[in-house]
A and B are shown apart, each in its own frame.
Chain A
Amino acid sequence: MLLLPRSIAFPKKNLLLSLTLLTLASPVFSQKPTPADTRLSGFEQHKNRKQNTLLGALKPENIGPSVFSCRVTDVEVNPADPTEMYVAYASGGLWHSTNNGTTFQPVFDQEAAMTIGDIAVDWQRRILWVGTGENNSSRSSYAGTGMYRSADGGKTWEWRGLPESHHIGRIVLHPTDPEVLWVAVLGHLYSPNDERGVYRSTDGGNTWKRTLFVDKNSGAIDLCLDPTAPNTVYAATWQRERRAWNFSGAGEGSGIWKSTDGGATWGRVSIPGSGFPTGANTGRIGLASGVKDGKTVLYACVDNQNPKPKKDKPAEDILTKDQLRSITTPAFLKLSDEQLDEFLKTNRFPEKYTGKKVKELVEKAKITPQALVEYLEDANAMLFDVDYIGAEVYRSDDGGRSWKRTHDEPLEQMNFTYGYYFSNIRCRPDDADVVYLMGFFIVSSADGGKSWKNINGDNVHVDHHALWVNPDRPGHLVNGNDGGLNISWDNGASWILCNNPPVGQFYAIAVDDATPYNVYGGAQDNGVWVGPSTYKASTDWHQSGKYPYQSLLGGDGMQIAVDTRNNSTIYTGYQFGNYFRIDQNSGKRKPISPRHDLGERPPRFNWQTPIHLSRHQQDVLYLGAHRLYRYFNRGDDWAAISEDLTGGGQKGNVPYGTLSTIHESPLKFGLLYTGSDDGRIHVTRDGGDTWTRISDSLPQKMWVSRVVASAHEKSRVFAALNGYRWDDFNAYLYVSDDYGKKWRRIGTDLPAEPVNVVQEDPENPDVLYVGTDHGAYISLDRGQTFQALSRDLPAVPVHDMAVQAKAKHLLLGTHGRSMYKVDVAQVQQLTGEVLAAAVHLFELPKTKYASNWGKKRPWQELKDPELPVTFYTAAPGPASWTVKTKDGIVLNTGQVNCAKGLNSFTFALDFQETVLKRYQKALQDAQKGFQKNR
């Protein structure tokens, strides 16, 4: 029997969940991975959209931040000059530094994938290799499109095959033969496939041969060579399978393999009796090799998912969750109140639950003893409550025949439950007793892995994925983690932080209504930030101590809603529904997440739990778990206003059957839409009294990435569906003009790129903005056709968008390149009339005159003033411009070559010397006239 507290008791009238549309025929649809050729032809379409966009004049401006950076997946450093390095980011592309990480330049922005699993550099021949598709198998590890090669330092790239690899674990180049390289291919993340295992090329990547294959769910994650015999190659395979509702990161397919013929044939060396873990609980494996006293040493770290050895029994009077899982009711009732009080206090139960009270509930059969365990098992707790061994390090001194765990003590808190995210190990090439292990922390050992020391400095983010160990200078390390890049010259005793590139991975963004307005963003593993929209990248803050962006919250930063009545109160949170009301002036923070009662299952919260602040009354906030909650009084009072609006969840270790998007009509209070991660869309027109499911005619089981009620037409609603979690990379975008009764597909000319966000322009009802996994697009005809937003925007995932209506700015929240600001004032004016004109000149801005225009200043470059001129033309070709006085004196002329669509140029506000006297006289006459009329 459920105990429903008043705060979340369900209104009876709400039980009228209308399913009238269930009678509609369900569409024939099954979730299938998108073939690589569709993705690659989609990329050609993407390039074509950029080339031919009508909006080439739009110049997105990156407004940072850069300080917290994002997940680095690999670093490669020039051993001959370690101030030169390449840094690969999970979804932020590849960056090059030639000044020890002081500044970086992007070199991989416009290929079919910006997500990178591993890179390799042939420094002698200056050949760069990029294996696309992040290898960390997290929920946002984007799929790549294979291998890329550059022979000119990243200026140009050649695609080099393996299109179905999706995720690449490691690239290893032969130390002396430039034609030979090996690639560990991890394979699809969300579906089984054949293109995985170890691939070898003997012709510089022109052709590949798969030489090691385990099965359709096991790929290769790591490779290393025997430093004394480069034809001896070791590979680690990993069985893993992610679904929207579950991640399985271990299996029989995980193991260590050895080849002694240059990777042509392989034999498994992690076999029963070898000393290395085998079997169904073997997780991700990392490899390293080095030399000690002239002999090869191998290390393998593993995410060992076998159960932890049973510890000594806890003291009898200390109650544990494990004991409660199987305790009988009579035994429970015999527990002392003090024992229970201690348990409740330790596990932070609300104060209303005392030992005595809980026993009463059990005695009256209102709850079972197991309800105490269920109460605690929310998704967040399950991330960190680990009941298996986790990170281990093994060493082999006999070429992999036998392995021995290097440490007696467990390596606590290195992997938690997400060992799939780690398992990288390195050792010094010439002194293999010096070892580095990366997990939640980075730790080092000087005695071959027997003892370990935490070297995670206080300016080093946790969650480590990459490390370069200088072979020539002991203690020089270059480390990549979830917070960017760190360099140490003293073996991790101290670090410098090199976070110059703006590579933040935002999940969600928002704007306020201040002047100038501020931008807010929730970022992967880097919390929630606020900063000025006028931000310009600068290192001035190194002196001032004031970085323009400020942190508001930690964790994985999620959605933000700003009360624009004061621009101070915001609602934001971290993963799995942990939301707060924050007063930015006082710094006060109040948790507002809905709590459940003993006996109830916890609400199911999406990783990015959606919130929405009512435009009609900003004391009203909506928050979506598996059902929708409405908050009054700025989050102080709340109630569920729906039943479960999802498919009900699915067994697994990832919360599923959760709401993923909420929107209230800007035109009507209480006209609300919800979308879920399992493809359900619901509408209520009466503030939650009755709900109607409106998604039955749409593709099923897709993640509803957005549902957006129109600000221009009350019955209009847009829906974006995302198939990324089925490896379906097509764009699914729909509109309905009758509250979702009938849907019409739009955006059919969008490239095969999953849609993350759709946003209606607040002024022009025909303008729609769309963000996909590879960029941003604008429709000028309400979704019939789309233009690339810009030619310059990197092919980065765009997760969220916001329009600042007063400033007429579109903000892009990217997952890999922080935030962009785009002036869309002219886009808003691209009405049918303007689009039909041969040429249209937009209003010219007022400009402040300055008497020092063009004047030399010490140590500064000479600059012209600028008047931006923006116009639209229906056809490409040359145009000419003339600037005159009001009296018709021609002051200057020029030509500009136009593309079809929006164009812009800047006029330097200068006049030709030939008209000096006429202009001077005109000014003099005007001045006289002015004085005469005073």
Chain B
Amino acid sequence: MPRKDSKKTVELLKADTGKYYLQKGSYVLELQKDGKTVSGNFILE
């Protein structure tokens, strides 16, 4: 996904796989199992 000029809207394009991919940044992944939830952060640099 090309990063556009910072003054313009961030453009998110569908890839050839038919999917949209996350952009750079920090995210949280939560896992729920048998009523318990654990989470972890991950960073796309």
- A residues with CB within 8 A of B: 838-849, 851, 853-856, 862, 864-865, 867, 869, 871, 873, 875, 877-886, 891, 898, 907-913, 916, 919-920, 923-924, 926-927, 931
Contact = CB atoms under 8 A, between A and B. Distances in A.
Chain A CB within 10 A, most for which of B19, B30, B43? B19
Given A840-B38, A844-B40, A927-B10, A853 B30 contact: no
Interface in B1-45: 1-3, 6, 9-12, 14-17, 19-34, 36, 38-45
A910 B29 contact: no
Given A854-B15, A865-B21, A920-B11, 16 more contacts: A838-B33, A838-B34, A839-B34, A839-B38, A844-B42, A853-B1, A853-B21, A854-B17, A864-B17, A881-B29, A882-B30, A898-B33, A908-B21, A911-B22, A912-B20, A916-B12
Contact of B21 (A842, A869, A909, A924): A909
Chain B CB within 10 A, most for which of A846, A848, A854, A916? A854
15 contacts: A841-B31, A841-B40, A847-B42, A847-B43, A854-B17, A864-B17, A867-B42, A873-B33, A875-B34, A877-B34, A881-B32, A883-B27, A912-B20, A916-B20, A920-B10
A838 B20 contact: no
B33 A879 contact: yes
Contact of A908 (B10, B19, B24, B34): B19
B22 A839 contact: no
Contacts of B17: 854, 862, 864
A453 B8 CA distance: 80
A891 B22 CA distance: 9
Chain A CB within 10 A, most for which of B1, B3, B38? B38
A911 B20 contact: yes
B21 A911 contact: yes
Given A849-B23, A916-B20, A871 B30 contact: no
A879 B9 contact: no
Contacts of A864: 17, 19
A924 B27 contact: no
A923 B15 contact: no
A881 B40 CA distance: 11
Chain A CB within 10 A, most for which of B1, B25, B42, B43? B42
Contacts of A882: 29-30, 32
Contact of A844 (B19, B41, B45): B41
A847 B39 contact: no
B8 to A, nearest CB: 9
A886 B24 CA distance: 12
Contact of B45 (A848, A869, A919): A848
Given A841-B40, A849-B45, A909 B22 contact: yes
A886 B28 CA distance: 6
Contacts of B44: 847-849, 909
A885 B15 contact: no
Sorted from nearest, which 3 A-B pairs have the closest CB atoms?
A854-B15, A844-B42, A854-B17
Contact of B16 (A844, A862, A911, A920): A862
Nearest to A878: B33
B32 to A, nearest CB: 5
Interface of B: 1-3, 6, 9-12, 14-17, 19-34, 36, 38-45
Contacts of B2: 851
Chain A CB within 10 A, most for which of B12, B27, B33? B33
A931 B8 CA distance: 12
A840 B34 CA distance: 12
B31 A847 contact: no
A877 B33 contact: yes
A847 B45 contact: yes
Nearest to B44: A849
B16 A854 contact: yes
Contacts of B9: 920, 924
Given A838-B33, A883-B27, A910 B45 contact: no
B39 A913 contact: no
Contacts of A898: 33
A843 B38 CA distance: 11
A904 to B, nearest CB: 12
A891 B33 contact: no
Nearest to B11: A920
Nearest to B24: A849
Contact of B29 (A873, A883, A912): A883
A845 B40 CA distance: 10
Given A867-B42, A924-B10, A927-B6, A839 B31 contact: yes
Nearest to A842: B40
A838 B6 contact: no
A863 to B, nearest CB: 8
A628 to B, nearest CB: 49
Given A839-B38, A851-B1, A923-B10, A844 B20 contact: no
Given A838-B34, A847-B44, A864-B17, A884 B27 contact: yes
Given A873-B33, A875-B34, A877-B33, A855 B41 contact: no
Nearest to B39: A841
Contacts of A878: 33
Contacts of B20: 910-913, 916
A908 to B, nearest CB: 7
Contacts of B43: 846-847
B9 to A, nearest CB: 6
Chain B CB within 10 A, most for which of A849, A871, A891? A849
Nearest to B18: A854
B20 to A, nearest CB: 5
Nearest to A898: B33
B10 A885 contact: no
A865 B22 CA distance: 10
A98 to B, nearest CB: 32
A285 B16 CA distance: 65
Given A848-B45, A855-B16, A909-B44, A881 B31 contact: yes
Chain A CB within 10 A, most for which of B10, B22, B34, B40? B22
A924 B26 CA distance: 15
Contacts of B38: 839-841, 871
Contacts of B10: 920, 923-924, 927
B34 A871 contact: no
A842 B33 CA distance: 15
Given A883-B28, A886-B28, A923 B19 contact: no
A314 B6 CA distance: 95
B31 to A, nearest CB: 5
B40 to A, nearest CB: 5
B27 A886 contact: yes
Contacts of A871: 31, 38
A868 to B, nearest CB: 10
Nearest to A854: B15
A846 B21 CA distance: 16
Contacts of B23: 849, 923
B15 A926 contact: no
A927 B41 CA distance: 20
A926 B24 CA distance: 11
B7 to A, nearest CB: 9
Contacts of B42: 844-847, 867
Contacts of A862: 16-17
Contacts of B29: 841, 844, 869, 881-883, 907
Contact of B36 (A838, A885, A912, A920): A838
A848 B21 CA distance: 13
Nearest to A869: B29
Nearest to B43: A846
Contact of A886 (B22, B26, B30): B26
Contacts of A886: 25-28
A854 B18 CA distance: 8
Contacts of B19: 854, 864, 908, 910
B6 to A, nearest CB: 6
Contacts of A884: 27-28, 30
Contacts of A926: 25
Contacts of B45: 846-849
